[in-house]
Amino acid sequence: MIPLSKQKQSALSPETKKLAQPPQEEPGSKKKPVPTIQGGVRMVSGMVWFASLADVKAYIQGLLDMYRSENEKATEFVAAMYRALAEQGSRVTNANSWAKIGSILVNSEDPDRGKMEAALQLLTDMKPLVARTEEALTNFTRLEDVPTQPDSAFVLCLRYGLPERLIVEANATTEKFSLTDEYLAV
Amino acid sequence: MLSRSVLEVAVILDRVEGVRLSDKADADAKSEYKLAVSMSEKKRIPGELTLNFTLDLTCQPQVAKLTVAGSVKLGGAEEEVAEIITPGEEKSPPKVVETIYERTYGLLYVLAGGLKVPYPKPNLLKKRTFQTT
């Protein structure tokens, strides 16, 4: 009689079987703590309302700071991973430790290298994001020269985290919060 | 940009004042404080609203006046911010007023103690409701 766990294994696809096998430890190899990375940015696509151009500029500056910080984090992580892998010595690893499950690539064989590859991909993605946001901010002075009514509202259109369009809405009524009331301390 | 699930409230004080209006003031005397709140919008950017506020506490009978003024920064989702500035039930003030009062209450208590005037109480009720009951 075939044990249940084996029955289950036989029903799995080759990719899933590969994942189900625990990574093989090299004899005598000592596991060292490896650097970690946590964070991420949500690439916003949408429209954001502002009451002034200065607020738009501050918002774009905030985006840029965030992208720079993520970029720096990924750079530091990759450098730390390279150092950690070098200290562990060159190991012979399977060149392709990824298995495709549906639309997602899964790596359970070499998580350290997997994380490093993902961080390198993050670096590749962040660089143009930083560059194009910097460009938007550099050219902001030209936007400030555009004549606008004092009671204008500004709608910034973002596409995958990048400021792409700015809509100036003249005579926009922006409701401001105010409160005057009396209470008793009891 | 990771989403914030909890509303952040930061109270920054610009001015704290306490005046003893009468020599007859007694810290142990039975009295109550009337709180006049004034708030106005200072700055609004996506995910953040900054309000200027002034809390004027006047002792009844008028033997002391305590004032705190400053700004409160509310950071969070638009709905959460809208909820905290909206007046609650009939008897209760908006949550933002309660929060400012809670955060500054310790200071007001110490101030009252130093001036030897009655201590303000920690909870707030809308004045008109109090008057009708």
- The chain-wide mean pLDDT, for chain B, equals 86
Residue B72 resides in a domain: yes
ipTM greater than 0.85, yes or no?
no
Examine the pLDDT at B79 and tell me if it is beyond 70. Answer: yes
Please report, for the domain that includes residue B40, its CATH number.
3.10.420
Please report whether residue B39 resides in a domain: yes
Exposed / middle / buried, residue B96 (Cβ in 10 Å: 0-12, 13-18, 19+): buried
**Whole-number pLDDT of residue B77:** 86
**In this structure, is residue B2 part of a structural domain?**
no
pLDDT at A48: 86
Please report the pLDDT score of residue B9 as a whole number.
95
B2, B33, B38, B44: best to mutate for the A interface, most A CBs within 10 A: B44
The residue behind tokens 């990375």 is: A37
Task: Indicate yes or no: CB of B35 within 8 angstroms of CB of A178.
Answer: no
Task: With respect to residue B3, please indicate whether it lies within any of the assigned structural domains.
Answer: no
Number of domain units in chain B = 1
Q: Is residue B86 part of a domain?
A: yes
The per-residue pLDDT for B112 is: 93
Is B45 inside a domain boundary?
yes
Domain span at residue B121 reads 8-132
Shortest distance, CA A44 to any CA of chain B (angstroms): 8
- B111, burial (CB in 10 Å: exposed 0-12, middle 13-18, buried 19+): buried
Cβ distance A48 to B46 less than 8 Å, yes or no, reads yes
pLDDT score of B46: 79
Cα(B93)–Cα(B90) distance, integer angstroms:
8
pLDDT in tens, B40-74: 999 888 788 999 999 999 998 889 999 999 999 99
Does this model's pTM top 0.95? no
Question: Mean pLDDT over residues A51-77, rounded?
Answer: 90
Nearest to A179 among B2, B35, B37 (CB): B37
Q: Nearest C-alpha of chain B: how many angstroms from A105?
A: 23
Question: pLDDT tier at B113 (50, 70, 90 boundaries)?
Answer: very high
Given pLDDT bands bounded at 50, 70 and 90, which one contains residue A143? confident
Is residue B93 in some structural domain? yes
Can you give the three-state secondary structure of chain A, one letter per residue? Answer: CCCHHHHHHHCCCHHHHHHHCCCCCCCCCCCCCCCCCCCCCCCCCEEEEECCHHHHHHHHHHHHHHHHHHHHHHHHHHHHHHHHHHHHCCCCCCCCCCEEECCEEECCCCHHHHHHHHHHHHHHHHHHHHHHHHHHHHCHHHHHCCCCCCCCEEEEEEECCEEEEEEEECCCCCCCCEEEEEEEEC
Is residue B126 domain-resident?
Answer: yes
- pLDDT value at residue A81: 83
